[in-house]
Amino acid sequence: MDLKSKIVLISGPTASGKSSFAIKFAKKVNGEIINADSMQVYKQLKILSARPDPKKYHEVKHHLYGFHDVTKNFSTGDWLKLVTKKIKEVQKREKTPILVGGTGLYFKALTDGLVKMPNISLKLRNQIRDLQKKIGQKKFYEKLLKLDPSLRGKINPTDTQRSIRAYEVKKFTKKSLHEWFKNTKSNFVEDDFFKIYIDFPRQELIERINVRTMEMIKNGAIKEVKNFIKLKVRKDKSVNKAIGVTEIKNYLNKEKDLEQIIEKIAIKTRQYAKRQSTWARGNMISWTKLKPQDLNKFLKKI
């Protein structure tokens, strides 16, 4: 199997071993690794984002890790511009670009293109978010389908973020979110990519998440959050949603003890992994699914 001419995409739920697999893969195909994780772009969140160990950077060249400041905005569009440029640079060096991460929207933007919609007023966005909170996701989703019936079967009923986005887009532009996406194109064609999803069994993944949570605390996650607090990042920045930030703040404020926050971080990470798996089932249908025991067998075929 010759994959050297492809753009390789490697995804999977958090703690599934994507980074270590990507390094082995890169060594086989003379590749370079590019980050596709929205939290691993930030300089100040090395431990909580589970950024690859810099020692590994000497084995295989890594790009777009830990380069952006948490106090500044960073969007999917920003990532797409940088990654498109980086892919071309890697290919010019006759190396294989290998994109690794768990942010489904990043991969979708790369393979399908990023929709360019007009800016929606903050007032309308807040109104819609307040409505969703007031009536709950189930009723909000029903309301969305009445407003835009074409979305039936295209958005998961439990996907709060996409439901809200679809609602505000339809209200503001009078066009369906589906229409906006349909008219969007990628800078690449489908045949440019080879896509791998590491499909980890749920129970094994839970055990890995529990172990990794303990390691994060041992490796200095509390100190990392102390330093993060000093930066006084605005509350509306998405980086504040990084798993562990709020929990460790609660510990530092003596609202929770260490055992409680470790358990809470592990629970939130498991919930995040479940959302990633749900996203993959709906949006990564064409990807090659590999169980952990199949990874080494797959590498031998390359």
Quick one: residue 13, left, alpha or beta (phi over 0 = left, psi -120 to 50 = alpha)? beta
| DSSP letter (8 states) at residue 247 | H
Asked whether 97 and 85 are in contact (CB, 8 A), the reply is: no
Q: What is the pLDDT of residue 236?
A: 81
Per this entry, what is the length of the chain? 302
Q: What is the pLDDT of residue 225?
A: 98
* Helix H or strand E encompassing 11: strand 7-11
CA-based max dimension of the chain = 55
More confident site: 180 or 24: 24
∠ CA 116-118-193, nearest 5°, is: 10
More confident site: 160 or 242: 242
Q: What is the pLDDT of residue 2?
A: 82
**Does 1 score more than 90 pLDDT?**
no
**Does 83 score more than 90 pLDDT?**
yes
| DSSP letter (8 states) at residue 55 | G
Q: What is the pLDDT of residue 9?
A: 98
Residue ranges of the domains in the chain? Answer: 7-114+185-201+284-301, 122-182, 203-276
pLDDT in tens, 99-129: 999 999 999 999 999 877 778 888 999 999 9
Return the number of other C-beta atoms located less than 10 Å from residue 203's C-beta.
8
Q: What is the pLDDT of residue 178?
A: 81
Sheet with 31-35: list strands edge to edge. 62-63, 31-35, 96-100, 7-11, 193-198, 288-290
**Does 162 score more than 90 pLDDT?**
no
Rounded CA-CA distance 134/1 in Å is 53
Per-residue pLDDT band at 159 (split at 50, 70, 90): confident
Which CATH number applies to 122-182? 1.10.20.140
- Give, rounded to a whole angstrom, the gap between the first and last alpha carbons of the chain: 5
pTM, two decimal places: 0.83
**Average pLDDT estimate for 56-61:** 90
Rounded CA-CA distance 13/241 in Å is 17
The strand ranges marked E within 59-211 are 62-63, 96-100, 193-198
**Does 181 score more than 80 pLDDT?**
no
Q: What is the token pair recorded at 275?
A: 């959302």
pLDDT in tens, 204-235: 999 999 999 999 999 999 999 999 999 999 98
240-257 exposure pattern, b = at least 16 Cβ within 10 A, e = fewer: eebbbbebbbebeeeebe
Mean pLDDT of the chain: 94
Q: What number of CA atoms fall less than 13 Å from residue 161's CA on the CB side? A: 4
Which CATH number applies to 203-276? 1.10.287.890
Specify burial of residue 68 (Cβ count, 10 A radius: 0-12, 13-18, 19+). Answer: buried
**Average pLDDT estimate for 232-240:** 89
Which CATH number applies to 7-114+185-201+284-301? 3.40.50.300
211-225 exposure pattern, b = at least 16 Cβ within 10 A, e = fewer: ebbeebbeeebbebb
